[in-house]
């Protein structure tokens, strides 16, 4: 199998590339990434010497570049996306271009090349917030941020290509990912690296918002299961059942560093901030997948990873700080 991975220098994408190359010795990966501010080739430095791995810098919204790079690939896995909610609130234009128009380009290129499998990586944020219970794959989409709306639009576009063109597409919607190689503007890497530097953890509102924390390696295994055993045209939620408030996560991290609750700095809440995400994962479980990383273990491992890989995140944090959002204390 020759897999065309988009956004492979990003957080989830880089972990997936490494997962595939480690698990499947006969597979090849073409990593197509624009290297925007959140993309980092250093995240796959250990793969550069592998003859099965090829990096191509390019934009998924540019059809000629995509068609040329995708030639010879039989599978597409699309991670490429603008993904930071705060940035989408300030300016949604890049999100529409990449997350919607870029997906249309990928779908058309894949159709032209006769690709056998197209996995589109989405998010549980497309469902919106839920007070009680959990969303299943057939529930209506009610996105509440421009980022989530752009991902929901892409999901519907992918579905339309299945219905209209019989495209061999599948969609995964995962909960909050965490783990190594996450760009230090998201909550967990900001919190961990701030604590390393003796700075407070910025926390929106009262911190009561609930997220289901899924280790990125578990998500990669789930995407792998969907890629190989999923049914075309179907959507698969991927979650871990680790529903924890942001305040509890921040408190646990502070405790790991021997810090008190004074290490948590409450900041004005984000506009339209979803209170709770929760998804039913029975469908992906039927493919033989289950989450394997307990949240406490994964959180401790993440802290150690950022402690041991300062050379990776320090330059990125300096870059993030230069373009920091008003409420992001990094």
Mention every residue, 6+ apart, whose C-beta is less than 8 A from residue 318.
none
Identified catalytic residue from 53, 127, 147, 178: 147
pLDDT at res. 318: 82
SS3 track for the chain: CEEEEECCCCHHHHHHHHHHHHHCCCCEEEEEECCCCCCCHHHHHHHCCCCCEEEEECCCCCHHHHHHHHCCCCEEEECCCCCCHHHHHHCCHHHHHHHHHHHHHHHHHHHHHCCCEEEEEEEHHHHCCCCCCCECCCCCCCCCCHHHHHHHHHHHHHHHHHHHHCCCEEEEEECEEECCCCCCCCHHHHHHHHHHCCCCEEEECCCCCEEEEEEHHHHHHHHHHHHHHCCCCCEEEECCCCEEEHHHHHHHHHHHCCCCHHHEEEECCCCCCCCECCECCHHHHCCCCCCCCCHHHHHHHHHHHHHHCHHHHHHHHHHHHHCCCCCCCC
Would residue 124 show up in a list of annotated catalytic residues for this protein?
A: yes
123: tokens are 């998010």
- Give the number of other CB atoms < 10 A from CB of residue 233: 16
pLDDT tens by residue, the chain, 330 residues: 999 999 999 999 999 999 999 999 999 999 999 999 999 999 999 999 999 999 999 999 999 999 999 999 999 999 999 999 999 999 999 999 999 999 999 999 999 999 999 999 999 999 999 999 999 999 999 999 999 999 999 999 999 999 999 999 999 999 999 999 999 999 999 999 999 999 999 999 999 999 999 999 999 999 999 999 999 999 999 999 999 999 999 999 999 999 998 999 999 999 999 999 999 999 999 999 999 999 999 999 999 999 999 999 999 988 776 655 544 543
Angle at 297 between CA 293 and CA 298, to 5 degrees: 60
- For the chain, give the mean pLDDT: 96
* β-bridge partners, 204: 267
pLDDT at 329: 43
> Is there a contact between 16 and 174 (Cβ–Cβ < 8 Å)?
no
List of residues 6+ apart from 293 with CB closer than 8 A: 215, 217, 218, 240, 301
pTM: 0.96
Q: Residue 330: its pLDDT value, please?
A: 35
User: Considering 59, 86, 124, 212, which one is annotated as catalytic?
Assistant: 124
Q: Which of 33, 59, 82, 125 is catalytic?
A: 125
């Amino acid at each position: 199998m020759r897999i065309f991975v988009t956004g492979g220098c990003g957080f989830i994408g880089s972990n997936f590339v490494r997962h595939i190359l480690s698990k499947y010795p006969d597979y090849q990966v073409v990593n197509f990434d624009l290297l925007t501010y959140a993309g980092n080739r250093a995240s796959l430095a250990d793969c550069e010497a592998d003859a099965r791995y090829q990096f191509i810098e390019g934009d998924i919204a540019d059809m000629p570049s995509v068609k040329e790079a995708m030639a010879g690939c039989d599978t597409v896995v699309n991670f490429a996306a603008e993904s930071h909610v705060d940035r989408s609130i300030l300016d949604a234009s890049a999100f529409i271009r990449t997350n919607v128009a870029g997906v249309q380009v990928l779908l058309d290129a894949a159709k032209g090349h006769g690709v056998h499998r197209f996995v589109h990586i989405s998010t549980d944020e497309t469902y919106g917030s839920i007070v009680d219970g959990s969303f299943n794959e057939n529930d209506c989409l009610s996105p509440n941020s421009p980022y989530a709306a752009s991902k929901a639009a892409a999901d519907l576009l992918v579905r339309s290509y299945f219905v209209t063109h019989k495209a061999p597409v599948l969609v995964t919607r995962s909960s909050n990912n965490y783990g190594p190689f996450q760009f230090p503007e998201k909550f967990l890497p900001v919190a961990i690296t701030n604590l390393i530097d003796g700075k407070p953890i910025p926390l929106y509102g009262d911190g009561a918002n609930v997220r289901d924390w899924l280790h990125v390696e578990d998500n990669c295994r789930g995407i792998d299961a969907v890629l190989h055993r999923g049914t075309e045209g179907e959507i698969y939620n991927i979650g871990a059942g680790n529903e924890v408030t942001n305040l509890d996560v921040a408190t646990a991290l502070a405790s790991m560093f021997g810090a008190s609750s004074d290490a948590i700095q409450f900041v004005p809440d984000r506009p339209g901030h979803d209170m709770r995400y929760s998804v039913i994962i029975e469908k992906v479980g039927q493919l033989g997948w289950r989450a394997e990383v307990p949240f406490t273990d994964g959180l401790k491992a993440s802290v150690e990873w950022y402690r041991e890989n300062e050379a990776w995140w320090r330059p990125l944090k300096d870059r993030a700080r230069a373009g920091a959002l008003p409420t992001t204390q990094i």
